Chains A and B, each alone.
Chain A
Amino acid sequence: MSKLSRGHESDPQLKAFDRMDDQALFLGIQRRDSAALSELVARHSYTMLRLARAITGSPDSAQDIVQDVFIALWLRAETLDIVGNVRGYLWSATRNQARMLLRHESVIERHREGSIADLEIVEPFIDTIEQEETARRIYEALEELPRRCREIFLLHWRDDLSVPEIADALQIGLPTVRNQIGRAMRHLVGVLRQSS
């Protein structure tokens, strides 16, 4: 693999390290080390919140869900046997919890149509001028996309969820997820090409 493929962040290596460390944190949690849990919360709550928001459409519910997942992890750590993929466990627990909540809520009120959340993209505030220009252009390009397409794309591109994870979380087909991501990316590439 060429250097270029990894950009400046040497992704694959970082991820392997990450996984190993998560595992160590999980062992710490099994030994009732609350600092290990806090660290895991700091690492993963962001993506879990995004995922829970995308499913439930509610930032408040998302907080409750994510917090419940971590508390359950703490309570059940001794009986859990998570080998290798703590993040995967956390994500699927988040997703299940969010779906359970949705089912529960749908009994009370029919769920809003097109239930995925309004993952508003925040207008970026950036430190370097060059980055600012690019990010702003991409921000504007994303605004032009249909909401659902944008949300799926952001879950993947920004929040690092895999295609099957998104499909599973939002209960849509794999091809749909791929199509939406591809569509958004083609749009971005087109916009960037135009401006250079």
Chain B
Amino acid sequence: MCFCDLAHRIYMTHRVIDDETLASYLAGGLTPEESASIEQALVRSSDDYKVVDQVRSAREVFRREGRLELSEDMQNVRRQVESFIASSPSREAPDFEVRPRLSVNDSPPVRAGRWFPHWAFVTPFLVAALVWGVLKVDRSMVGSEGPGLASVYSTSNGHQASLSLPDGSHVILNVGSRLEVPSNFGMVNRQVRLAGEAVFTVAHRSSVPFSVAAGSTTTTVLGTVFKVRKYDSDTAVSVDVREGRVSVQSTVLTANESAIVTSSGDVSTVAMDLSSFDFIDGKLTISNLPLADAVRDLSRWYDADIQIGSPGLATQKVGGTFTLGSREELINILEKALGFRVIQQGRLLTVYE
């Protein structure tokens, strides 16, 4: 619409190129030769050129706007990727992590184009922690026996956590539990140590068995779903198998079997308690336990210190299903559902008849 420019008007040729061809050109559907001839024609046809120019300039706007629209998503991706990398000890230590003073990962950065070991050795603690609800996982690195330094994942009372290990295995850590993963966990070694209770879904790897040490008992598997429990207050280690086969000491367990290993090393096999895996769904099932035993689980579950005030109460049997919740909810249950009297002093609850 350049009516202002007379000279231009004289040389202006209307629509040298038909719409179809122009669209093909703009859509990149022409051969290089065809495109070249269109470009020559465009020099002579300001109307056609204007369309081309408008489409191009609009494209810039759309690109800019598209980026604006996605900028939050892009930032999220960037944050996630960066925080993942930051959690790998081969990079700068993130603030929640205490770096061990002597670590294989402290080796100087590898120079360009030279060797580099497999990622499993470089980044042994690539453990993505998924934490549900208000639960949190405390991650710290500490020295452990043996040459490798371990990464320790622990949950406090009342909190659970879900972890993915670098080999693809998955762990659900119950309340008040602790899992040690050695720094060389991965390709040649899949040995972890547990204090507390956890369900392991083990990625199958026929050449490298996965083993869980708890107390003095080691449980070894190739790929399966099973649970190990050994809190400090437990006298025996218990292993429950949901899928696959597991060997405990020299005893082989199959699905729906449990083993109880006493501190003297005696293994007995029993049918698995079906509520054994309930904690995954945030449920603690207590079936007819003396109150003295039940309070140990309850105190971890609700993060409370529980004392029994009336002497006769310790042997009284209790049972029920408890969902994760606050101390106040526990008091409610003890008083309303179980008919006890509870006196609270901070985190200390004393239970009376």
Contact = CB atoms under 8 A, between A and B. Distances in A.
Contacts, number: 164
Nearest to B112: A31
A78 B74 CA distance: 25
Interface residues of A, number: 57
A78 B116 contact: yes
Nearest to A28: B112
B43 A2 contact: yes
B150 to A, nearest CB: 21
Contact of A188 (B23, B24, B42, B53): B23
Interface string A111-153: 0000000000110111000110011011000000000000000
A62 B119 contact: no
A158 interface: yes
B65 interface: yes
A23 to B, nearest CB: 13
Contact of B50 (A46, A59, A67, A196): A196
Interface in B98-131: 109-113, 116-119, 122-123, 126
Contacts of A45: 73-74, 77-78
A135 B60 CA distance: 9
Contacts of B122: 32
A186 interface: yes
A154 interface: yes
A66 B23 CA distance: 33
A79 to B, nearest CB: 7
A159 B62 CA distance: 9
Specify which of A46, A130, A159 lies most central, judged by the most chain B CB atoms within 10 Å of its CB. A46
Contacts of A157: 27, 59, 62
B319 interface: no
Given A38-B81, A75-B123, A46 B58 contact: no
Interface in A35-56: 37-38, 41-42, 45-46, 49-50
Binding site secondary structure of chain B:
helix
Contacts of B57: 130-131, 134-135
A67 B81 contact: yes
B58 A63 contact: no
Specify which of A1, A32, A66, A76 lies most central, judged by the most chain B CB atoms within 10 Å of its CB. A32
B112 A186 contact: no
B30 to A, nearest CB: 11
A1 B65 contact: no
A34 B85 contact: yes
A4 B63 contact: no
Interface in A62-96: 62-63, 66-67, 70-71, 74-76, 78-79
A196 B56 CA distance: 16
A38 B51 contact: no
A138 B111 CA distance: 51
A41 B77 contact: yes
Given A124-B65, A178-B29, A63 B19 contact: no
A169 interface: no
Contacts of A31: 109-112
A168 B302 CA distance: 52
A185 B23 contact: yes
A75 B119 contact: yes
Interface string A1-43: 1101101000000000000000000010011101001100110
Interface string B76-104: 11101110111000110000000000000
A63 B345 CA distance: 47
Given A158-B62, A196-B50, A5 B1 contact: no
Interface stretch (B33-41, B204-212, B306-314, B334-342): B33-41
B56 A32 contact: no
Contacts of A66: 77
Contacts of A182: 23-24, 27, 29
Interface string A98-112: 000000000000000
Which 4 A/B pairs are nearest by Cβ-Cβ distance?
A135-B61, A185-B23, A186-B23, A185-B27
Given A4-B52, A7-B56, A70-B81, 13 more contacts: A2-B40, A45-B78, A46-B70, A46-B74, A49-B77, A70-B77, A131-B61, A157-B62, A158-B62, A182-B24, A182-B29, A188-B23, A189-B23
Interface of B: 1, 15, 19-20, 22-24, 26-27, 29, 35-36, 39-40, 42-43, 47, 49-63, 65-70, 73-74, 76-78, 80-82, 84-86, 90-91, 109-113, 116-119, 122-123, 126
17 contacts: A2-B36, A4-B43, A7-B56, A34-B86, A37-B85, A41-B81, A62-B73, A63-B76, A74-B85, A78-B119, A134-B58, A135-B58, A156-B27, A182-B27, A188-B26, A193-B19, A196-B47
Interface of A: 1-2, 4-5, 7, 27, 30-32, 34, 37-38, 41-42, 45-46, 49-50, 59, 62-63, 66-67, 70-71, 74-76, 78-79, 121-122, 124-126, 130-131, 134-135, 137-138, 154, 156-159, 178, 181-182, 185-186, 188-190, 192-193, 196
